[in-house]
Structure 1
């Protein structure tokens, strides 16, 4: 079976697709690094949605998601954005943890697994 890669770079790809399953890399804020967690969450979810579309999937097809926050005390701020974004009736399995991220300006990183259409 063929493995398809979206956004292939030297070190990683934005998504890898195998057997109808889309594995998304961790997505971090590109334009809102250092901004509020609300702004960063909005951007990261938009980036995820774009990558899913490129991979032939959508947010309604997300099976599981892992959310990494630099400050778990701000989970309510992230959830406010998440709750508006997640497709009603299609909430995926989810884990949210506190973690030190690759850049001090990142407040959030999200990775997911989704089914293709």
Structure 2
């Protein structure tokens, strides 16, 4: 079975497609770095939409999502954006935890697995 890699870098690929499954690496924002959790979440979800489309799928086919917040007290702020984005009736399995992220300007990181 073939493996397709999207956004290949020296350390990781942004997405990997194997069979009918799409695996996205943890995504952080670019333009919203240092801004609010809501703004970072919005940008990350937009990035995820683009990567899923490039891989031939979309958010209605999400299987599992992992979300890391640098401060769990921002859970409701992140969820306010998430709830508007996720497809009603097609919600994935999901875990959200507090964790120290790679750099202080990042307050949210999201990784997804989706079907094609």
Coarse TM-score class (shorter-chain normalised) = over 0.9
Paired with 1:99 and 1:53, the residues of 2 have a C-alpha distance of 28
Q: List gaps (5 residues or longer) in structure 2.
A: none
TM-score where L is the length of structure 2: 0.98
**Secondary structure of residue in 2 paired with 1:7:** strand
2:3 pairs with 1:19: no
Q: Give runs of aligned pairs for residues 18-97 of structure 1, distance below 5 A.
A: 18-97=18-97
How many residues are matched?
Answer: 116
In the alignment, which residue of structure 1 is the partner of 2:8?
8
| Other-structure match for 1:115 | 115
- Larger proportion of strand: 2
Q: Note the residue ranges of structure 1 that are not aligned, 5 or more in a row.
A: none
**Per-residue deviation, residues 31-80 of structure 1 (Å, max 9, x unmatched):** 11000111000000000111000000100000000000000011000000
Distance 1:82 1:92 in 2: 12
What's the offset of the Cα at 1:19? 1.4
Provide the C-alpha distance between the structure 1 equivalents of 2:63 and 2:112, rounded to a whole number of angstroms: 7
TM-score by length of 1: 0.98
Runs of 4+ in 1 over 6 A off after TM superposition: none
What is the root-mean-square deviation of aligned Cα atoms in Å?
A: 0.5
In structure 1, what is the Cα distance between the partners aligned to 2:16 and 2:85? 23
